[in-house]
Amino acid sequence: MAKPKHQFVCQECGAVSQKWAGQCADCGGWNCIVEETAPRGFTKVSGQGNAGGKTLDFEDLSAQAGEAPRTPTRIGELDRVLGGGLTRGSAVLIGGDPGIGKSTVLLQLAAGLAASGKTAMIVTGEESTAQVRMRAKRLGLQDAKVHLAYATGVGEILAALRREKPDLAVIDSIQTMFVEDIDSAPGTVTQVRQSAHELIALCKQIGTALVLVGHVTKDGQIAGPKVLEHMVDTVLYFEGDRGHQFRLLRAVKNRFGAAGEIGVFAMTDKGLEEVTNPSALFISGKAGEVSGSVVFAGVEGTRPVLAEIQALVSPSTMAQPRRAAVGWDGSRLAMVLAVLQARGGYRFADKEV
């Protein structure tokens, strides 16, 4: 019996090397190279034919193609970010910090679709079904006709998808899934890439909208190979501070809508509620009426947002006055102060800002 080959794979960028090293030569990450069993090679197909397979049918660019059908999610802010609703056969990847509300909003999504007569399936690999039912009861969704199962094997999930052919399938999370034929631990680059590939390929075949939940690294990026974000149609990030009730859902990639669109939610004891007027969150009651305060009008995606900017300048006796910024880039602040001093005639050398 042939001895299995081993390779060393970077868990940050997916680069493969033949020996272990403390730093990845491709992405520069430290202590991120893990030994894995090399996946089995694919069967080579002869150039004379494709062993009984069907040939490709090509089309002209001028062929008429209808717009991809969409299903409203019954959550207005989520529909805004997705570009109008879930697209049949699409793959969506959603990431965010632990406890930010990813599982909560997806449970509300599945319950909303089930209430409209659609078939929704949730496969959890992190929580037990009892934990999910407890959350549903807290949110008042215990009567929703959502199919729920605990599984981590991709093979049994694919069999269930072929049998049920649901309108929506939620996988929570992709880092807990594993393909039985690959001798690597769940969460490794090889497992994440192959698991996502098989799930996405089948869902596009049967027309199921697939939502994958992804873990994030300490830098806020979705864990696993970068190819995972290329494989899906839409990438969403859940942002916010767990100490505050407001959450931002941002689309950084969307093949069926505008990238950069945001949805605003408020976390309550009844789940995530939509915030239809986010400008009210960023403006105090006396904005523009006191010195050092001004209202700025910006655009996030297709939505205009009003935000209040507050500034305080005071004399300093220090050799190097402090520059502090909250919610803004410090280097951008330094650039604005340099422009004001060079072109506006203001002096900030002896001022704290």
Q: Are residues 31 and 95 in the same domain?
A: no
- In a domain, residue 286? The reply is no
Which residues have CB under 8 Å from 300's CB, separation 6+?
Answer: 260, 261, 262
User: Tokens for 316?
Assistant: 């300093």
Q: Are residues 297 and 272 in the same domain?
A: no
- In a domain, residue 52? The reply is no
Q: Give how many domains the chain has, as a whole number.
A: 3
Range of the domain at 134: 70-276
The CATH number covering residue 267 comes to 3.40.50.300
What does residue 268 show for φ and ψ, rounded to 5 degrees? -125, 180
User: Tokens for 220?
Assistant: 């806020």
Q: Are residues 190 and 253 in the same domain?
A: yes
- In a domain, residue 42? The reply is no
Burial 329-347 (b: 16+ CB within 10 A, else e): eeeeeeeebeeeeeeeeee
What does residue 334 show for φ and ψ, rounded to 5 degrees? -60, -40
Q: Are residues 27 and 108 in the same domain?
A: no
* Arithmetic mean of pLDDT, 259-288: 81
Return the amino acid letter for 42: F
Window from 21-30, 74-83, 305-314, 319-328 with minimum mean pLDDT: 21-30
Residue 46's pLDDT is 41
Q: Are residues 109 and 252 in the same domain?
A: yes
Angstrom distance (rounded) from CA 13 to CA 26? 8
Q: Are residues 20 and 122 in the same domain?
A: no
- In a domain, residue 48? The reply is no
User: Tokens for 176?
Assistant: 């807990």
- In a domain, residue 64? The reply is no
Q: Are residues 192 and 311 in the same domain?
A: no
Q: Are residues 266 and 156 in the same domain?
A: yes
Q: Are residues 271 and 306 in the same domain?
A: no
Which of 242, 276, 310 is a domain's end point? 276
15-23: long-range contacts at Cβ-Cβ below 8 A with a sequence spacing of 24 or more?
none
Angstrom distance (rounded) from CA 264 to CA 246? 7
Q: Do 190 and 183 contact (CB within 8 A), yes or no? A: no
Would you place residue 286 in the very low, low, confident or very high pLDDT band (cuts 50, 70, 90)?
A: low
- Per-residue model confidence as pLDDT tens digits over 208-259: 999 999 888 766 677 666 778 889 999 999 888 777 788 889 999 999 888 8
- In a domain, residue 51? The reply is no
- In a domain, residue 45? The reply is no
Q: Are residues 264 and 129 in the same domain?
A: yes
- In a domain, residue 284? The reply is no
Which of 228, 243, 276 is a domain's end point? 276
Would you place residue 96 in the very low, low, confident or very high pLDDT band (cuts 50, 70, 90)?
A: confident
Q: How many CA atoms lie within 13 A of 332 on its CB side?
A: 5
Taking 90 as the threshold, does the pLDDT of residue 110 lie above it? yes
- Per-residue model confidence as pLDDT tens digits over 32-50: 888 877 665 544 444 444 5
Q: Are residues 245 and 300 in the same domain?
A: no
Q: Are residues 202 and 75 in the same domain?
A: yes
* Neighbour tally for 217: CB within 10 Å: 14
